[in-house]
Amino acid sequence: MLQTVKINSEDIVTQIKLSCKYPEITKEIVIRQIIENAASEAGIEVKTEELQKAADKFRIGKRLLRSEDTWKWLEKHGLAVEDFEKIVYNNLISRKLAAHLFVDKIEPYFFEHQLDYIRVVLYELALDDEDLALEIFYAIKEDEVTFADVASKYIQDTELRRRGGYRGILRRQDLKPEISAAVFAAKPPELLKPIVTAKETYLIFVEEIIQPQLDNNLRNIIGSHLFNEWLKQQFNEIKII
């Protein structure tokens, strides 16, 4: 049995290749260089107090609330203090570059793609029998049964049945196109007539349609999307040697 194992940088590179993670790691290296070069060209700098605040936020996010916790985390990941500072710096410079490039583009993008951010609260029942779906639809409309009643009887998935068919808060792209069109044309609260697809017939109750608000959370989502698309474009234009 091996008592000690010595691992060098060559072993690590070999393992990266054998685990088929070489393309993934290579891409991460290139992306980091893209960000560093773009930030330098834009004259973006990180002040000491900014780095300290970012480090504190990083530790809180990792639940490294004590110095001892931080040291254990560094040891676990084979990192030195300088490596930790580099991680925090990279995260911070990435956010600052994203803000520099896209802070003024978020609002126009939101208004141009507003439909993509509308969400819906719905309950769903999928059936193999179109006639049965229509029968259930009229039974619910005439208050003979409730949606929860038929959900508990016909839904096969245990968790979905327990939730009474509740699918949650969904975006347009979370739904099949033929379902999405009917759902977002609804006037909630509304039980939609059965929607027939190639495989199943859906009975859907639309509880609420949530109009998008450009709050801080959505600003961050859009900003991240724009930045990632920009990084993808930059990466595709680079030749790796």
Res 208: pLDDT: 96
Instruction: Specify whether 180 is located in the same domain as 95.
Output: no
Q: What is the CATH number of the domain that holds 186?
A: 3.10.50.40
Per-residue pLDDT tens for 7-48? 888 998 899 999 999 999 999 999 999 999 999 999 999 999
Instruction: Specify whether 16 is located in the same domain as 105.
Output: yes
Instruction: Specify whether 103 is located in the same domain as 147.
Output: no
Q: Is-contact 205 191, C-beta < 8 A?
A: yes
For the chain, helix, strand, coil in percent to 5 are 60, 10, 30
User: DSSP labels for 165-187?
Assistant: TEEEEEEGGGS-HHHHHHHTT--
Asked whether residue 241 is domain-assigned, the answer is no
Place of tokens 């900014």: 50
Q: Is-contact 212 110, C-beta < 8 A?
A: yes
Instruction: Specify whether 166 is located in the same domain as 145.
Output: yes
User: DSSP labels for 75-140?
Assistant: HHTT--HHHHHHHHHHHHHHHHHHHHHHTTTHHHHHHHTGGGG-EEEEEEEEES-HHHHHHHHHHH
Which pair of tokens denotes residue 190?
């509304």
Taking the chain (241 residues) in consecutive chunks of 10 residues, what is each chunk's mean pLDDT? 80 91 93 96 95 95 94 94 96 96 96 93 94 95 93 92 94 91 94 92 96 94 96 90 73
Burial of 133 (0-12, 13-18, 19+ CB in 10 A): buried
pTM of the model: 0.77
Asked whether residue 182 is domain-assigned, the answer is yes
Asked whether residue 1 is domain-assigned, the answer is no
Instruction: Specify whether 139 is located in the same domain as 163.
Output: yes
Q: How many structural domains comprise the chain?
A: 2
Distance, CA of 168 to CA of 74 (rounded, Å)? 39
Burial of 206 (0-12, 13-18, 19+ CB in 10 A): buried
Distance, CA of 82 to CA of 57 (rounded, Å)? 17
Per-residue pLDDT tens for 141-152? 999 999 999 999
Residues 6+ apart with CB under 8 A from 70: 59, 64, 84
Domain hosting 206: range is 119-210
Asked whether residue 72 is domain-assigned, the answer is yes
In degrees and rounded to multiples of 5, residue 16 shows phi and psi of -60, -45
Res 7: pLDDT: 85
Q: Name the 3-class secondary structure at 195.
A: strand
Q: What ranges make up the beta strands (E) of 42-85?
A: none
Res 158: pLDDT: 92
